[in-house]
Amino acid sequence: MKIAYKLIDKLMANPSKTNVMALNKVLTIGIPFNAPHGFKIKSLSPEAVVITAPDRKLNHNHLGGIHACAIATIGEFCAGMALLSSFGISRYRLILAELNVKYSYQGRSDLEGTCSPHQIEKEKISQALQDNGKHLQTMQTIIRDKFGAEVAIVTTTWQLKSWDQVKTRG
């Protein structure tokens, strides 16, 4: 497991087009739930993490739009990747503590989630991790359709914890 985490950190540290493609492959194996849905990292940068989701039957609800849970998962994935881009996975465990979605429009096309790493106060979090071994961080992801219409705002709260503080490490 540690080798895979170090590989993910290495790929994220230099998010070239080739490394993002490799990261998508690694995460398809590492996060098997996301694989059949076709969620992909489009870009990783200090300004934004962008995740795409295709308009495919597996992602549809009974009305033919993108399922609410698929939208929530895009937001979760995007925010998690933004945190990983700042802190890495080899030193800290991220676990979702809370998820809230405000749906504003029925998604009926490919979707794109955008989360800004600028929401992360690295020094404050690093200090909290040093003092307490863990920290709760709230992130916001905007989900838009291919026409630019806002479909949802996904707010996630994550617990970051130093791996040496984790008691149930698998």
Domain that holds residue 31: 2-165
Q: CATH number, domain at 159? A: 3.10.129.10
The pLDDT tens digits of the residues spanning 91-103 come to: 999 999 999 999 9
Name the maximum alpha-carbon separation found in the chain. Answer: 49
CB 30 within 8 A of CB 8: yes
**Residue type (1 letter), 75:** G
Q: What predicted TM-score, i.e. pTM, was given to this entire model? A: 0.94
Residue 158, strand partner residues: 96, 137
Overall number of domains in the chain:
1
- Which residue has tokens 């479909």? 151
Question: Is 154 within a domain?
Answer: yes
Q: Is residue 170 part of a domain?
A: no
pLDDT tens digits for the chain (170 residues)? 678 899 999 999 999 999 999 999 999 998 988 889 999 999 999 999 999 999 999 999 999 999 999 999 999 999 999 999 999 999 999 999 999 999 999 999 999 999 999 999 999 999 999 999 899 999 999 999 999 999 999 999 999 999 988 987 55
* Residue 96 forms part of a structural domain: yes
Q: Which helix (H) or strand (E) covers residue 112, if one does?
A: strand 111-115
Q: Examine residue 83 and state whether it is found in any structural domain, yes or no.
A: yes
